[in-house]
Amino acid sequence: MMASKKLLFTFLSLLIFSLLSGQGSAGHFHIHPTKLIVFGDSYVDTGNINVNTSGARNFPYGITFPGVPSGRFSDGRVLTDFFAKYLGLKKSPTPFIAWQKIGNKRPKFGINFAFGGTGVFDTSFPFPNMTTQINLFQNLIANSIFTSYDIHSSIALVSPSGNDYSFYLATNGSPQGFKPFVISVVNQIAVNLKRIYRLGVKKIVVVGLGPVGCYPQLTAPSFNKCNATMNSFVEFHNILLKKAVEKLNNETKGSPNFFILDMYDTVLSIIQNKGNPKVGVSFKTPLKPCCFGVSSEFSCGSVDEHGNKMYTLCKHPNLALFWDSLHPTQKGWFAAFSSLRSNLKHL
């Protein structure tokens, strides 16, 4: 009788753990995700670059939130913050650099490995590329910083936003070799997504490329016309990414495990509509950034040797879609994520 009770207790314990960790026959979540694990670049970095040479650590970055520069590449909140709130987390996941300072304490809401300026491969910025970021995550698992329950009840947010392509063009990559390079980037993204899945995270959201040809860096100085050639390469990237994600979902059992955030159509729609009417947001001049260098030699936050600011700053960041040459304002992210939420309805 005692042996039977022991077997029954063991069976029930395993069953409960299976349900809680989302490992039922269909692989569905049976509870809300408890942690967010973030990989990528400046679109999702919430403070991993803590050197003063980073613009995100200098005024006027962070003037809307938290009121001082926090390492976010915006005037306020970025994609990670809105995504975490959508998941019901009380706070955004802890930046990896900040977590290192508090020792081996288990991150309560997840962890953010994203570093601004990085890519799928190495770029000109001396920070961990995505493969290295995943290595850091694997090391934390190996050192029991995350339990099996933590991993299986987590969601990963992966942001490859185009730094590989900027680096390719800046290092005199040939136009003929650009499409093959796009293929290599997307292939590596697929490898990274599969690796995160095999580490135990069963729901993974990857950010598609936005309309880079419409970003202020490429529309300056007029800020009134998108670069169609660049956007055609972006569309090629996104087509390949969609096929790669479809293949990954076909290879895994049960409900979809990989999801794409359609940044391209979302941001393009905001530009064309001069805002997002559904949430009452309008941008009169959507291609014009709030903060921009006075010339091509300077950028948002730049100062000269005498400490004079070498940038222009708008009075109301909440009226601008773009904060600087590449990144949305907090209001821009709000407008975009309000539309992107529809991509996540099956998550």
Given the residues 74, 150, 324, 339, the one annotated as active site? 324
44-58: b (≥16 Cβ within 10 Å) or e: bbbbbbeeeebbbbe
Whole-number Å distance between alpha carbons of 86 and 95 = 19
Non-local CB neighbours of 81 within 8 Å, separated by 6+ positions? 46, 92, 333
- Distance CA(238)–CA(232), nearest Å, equals 10
Is residue 327 part of the annotated active site? The answer reads yes
Helix, strand, coil share of the chain (percent; to 5)? 45, 10, 45
Catalytic residue among 42, 70, 161, 299: 42
205, β-bridge pairs? 157, 259
Could you give the CA distance from residue 46 to residue 334 in angstroms, rounded to a whole number? 16
In eight-state DSSP terms, residue 110 is E
**Phi, psi angles (nearest 5°) of residue 209:** -70, 140
Among residues 75, 159, 299, 327, the one annotated as catalytic is 327
- Residue 111 makes CB contacts below 8 A (sequence gap 6+) with 35, 37, 38, 93, 94, 95, 96, 99, 137, 140
Active site residue 42: yes
Indicate the pairing of strand 110-112 with strand 281-282.
Answer: unpaired
Q: Measuring CA to CA, which residue among 69, 37, 248, 65 is closest to residue 145? A: 37
Contact 163, 118 (CB under 8 A): yes
Contact 204, 344 (CB under 8 A): no
Assess whether the previous peptide bond of 256 is cis (omega < 30° from 0).
Answer: no
Give the closest residue to 288 by CA, choosing from 301, 271, 302. 271
Distance CA 304, CA 310 (A): 7
> Annotated catalytic sites, by residue?
42, 324, 327
